[in-house]
Structure 1
Amino acid sequence: MNRPAPFRQADLSRALKAWRSAGLELGRVEIEPSGKIVMTPRRGESDPVNGYPNEWDDTLQ
């Protein structure tokens, strides 16, 4: 027996629209098995996850 999806595309679309209207730059989106949507802001120029610069940034430029 199939169970309904814990989230729908419309749920994610609404969350992204709200995020953009708040003027935030999105770094990462996680969708948990329960359907919970977790959105993390981009904090650094090179690393959206933890906001710390990558040691290779200067070397590779």
Structure 2
Amino acid sequence: MANTQAPFKQVDVTRAVKGAVAAGLSVGRVEIDRSGKIVVVMANNATSEINEWDEQ
């Protein structure tokens, strides 16, 4: 059986999580599908900045 290349690497997940944290978001979990697509899901207690345009 031939070795196949991994669809993602640990460094890819680390970069995605560090990017979300650097943006001020609270990471709840990370989902990775079979193709290697990485989805960072924010925690429920994540606070976002409220824009004056949002308050109407």
Q: Note whether the superposition's TM-score is higher than 0.5.
A: yes
Quote the offset at 1:31 in angstroms: 0.7
Instruction: Name the counterpart of 1:22.
Output: 23
TM-score (norm 2): 0.72
Structure 2: tracts of 5 or more residues without a match: 46-56
Instruction: Name the counterpart of 2:10.
Output: 9
Highest RCO, 1 vs 2 (Cα 8 Å, sep ≥ 6)? 2
Percent identity, please: 50
Q: How many residues align?
A: 44
Structure 1: tracts of 5 or more residues without a match: 45-61
Instruction: Name the counterpart of 1:32.
Output: 33
TM-score (norm 1): 0.67
Instruction: Decide which structure has greater helix share.
Output: 1
